[in-house]
């Protein structure tokens, strides 16, 4: 599809995020299964539920635009999750506290990538006068930002001190 205007770019970026979220939904259960710290598990599990809601929000937006959600593969997220897989492969070979610390690094890279993408589409929705979309995308952006802070908190107060011990 040729890209002619800001709306086309908006749809393209939304599809990129949709693909990213779908990939995250596959990766998160593996990350949860590999994590040892109960708080980390709990936070990741909660974010799994949030991620399903984020996909629902994107679906609402695609419905409203009358376009398909699929047709784009987010290679950036694929790369981040391949690196995450490399961490998961160390399971059983490194101390669990270190694995947790590494998982948090990986999860925070994912969050920052999402924050960048959602920031762009939220701004595009605003410029295009799509206020309902802007509201939905801002909700997701807030969740991603919150998750990043939550992960920093768990790392600082629980996982990193244990990894250093
Ligand atoms: Fe997300
Ligand atoms: Fe996220």
Supply the pLDDT for residue 1: 63
* Nearest ligand for residue 21 CA: 1
Q: Which residue's structure tokens are 């993408």?
A: 117
Of the candidates 49, 46, 37, 150, the residue with the CA atom closest to the CA atom of residue 102: 37
Superfamily of domain 6-164: Ferritin, core subunit, four-helix bundle (1.20.1260.10)
Of the candidates 85, 109, 99, the residue with the CA atom closest to the CA atom of residue 35: 99
CA 147 / ligand 1 centre spacing (Å): 9
- Rounded average pLDDT over 13-38: 98
Q: Which residue's structure tokens are 């990766």?
A: 27
Instruction: Reply yes or no on whether the pLDDT at 3 is more than 90.
Output: no
CA 21 / ligand 1 centre spacing (Å): 5
CA 49 / ligand 1 centre spacing (Å): 10
CA 120 / ligand 2 centre spacing (Å): 15
User: Hey, what are 85's tokens?
Assistant: 């897989």
Residue pair 112/148 in contact by the 8 Å Cβ criterion = yes
* Nearest ligand for residue 110 CA: 2
CB atoms near residue 152 (< 10 Å): 14
pLDDT tens, position by position, 97-148: 999 999 999 999 999 999 999 999 999 999 999 999 999 999 999 999 999 9
CA 165 / ligand 1 centre spacing (Å): 32
CA 6 / ligand 1 centre spacing (Å): 23
Residue pair 28/51 in contact by the 8 Å Cβ criterion = yes
Supply the pLDDT for residue 2: 78
pLDDT-derived band at 4, boundaries 50, 70, 90 = very high
Q: What is the pTM of this model?
A: 0.96
Average pLDDT taken over every residue of the chain: 97
Supply the pLDDT for residue 105: 98
**Full DSSP string of 72-133:** ---HHHHHHHHHHHHHHTTBTTB-HHHHHHHHHHHHHHHHHHHHHHHHHHHHHHHHTT-HHH
CA 114 / ligand 2 centre spacing (Å): 6
Instruction: Reply yes or no on whether the pLDDT at 94 is more than 70.
Output: yes
Residue pair 145/114 in contact by the 8 Å Cβ criterion = no
CA 136 / ligand 2 centre spacing (Å): 15
């Amino acid at each position: 599809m040729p890209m002619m205007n800001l709306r086309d770019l908006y749809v393209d970026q939304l599809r990129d995020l949709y693909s990213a979220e779908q990939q995250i939904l596959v990766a998160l259960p593996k990350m949860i299964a590999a994590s040892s710290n109960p708080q980390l598990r709990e936070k990741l599990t909660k974010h799994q539920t949030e991620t399903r809601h984020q996909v629902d929000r994107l679906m609402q937006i695609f419905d409203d635009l009358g376009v398909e959600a699929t047709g784009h593969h987010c290679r950036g997220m694929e790369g981040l999750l391949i690196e995450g897989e490399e961490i998961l492969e160390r399971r059983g070979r490194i101390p669990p506290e270190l694995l947790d610390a590494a998982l948090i690094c990986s999860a925070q890279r994912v969050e920052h990538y999402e924050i960048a993408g959602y920031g762009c589409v939220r701004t595009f929705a605003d410029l295009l006068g799509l206020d309902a979309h802007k509201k939905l995308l801002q909700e997701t952006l807030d969740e991603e930002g919150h998750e990043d802070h939550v992960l920093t908190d768990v790392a600082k107060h629980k996982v990193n001190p244990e990894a250093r011990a």
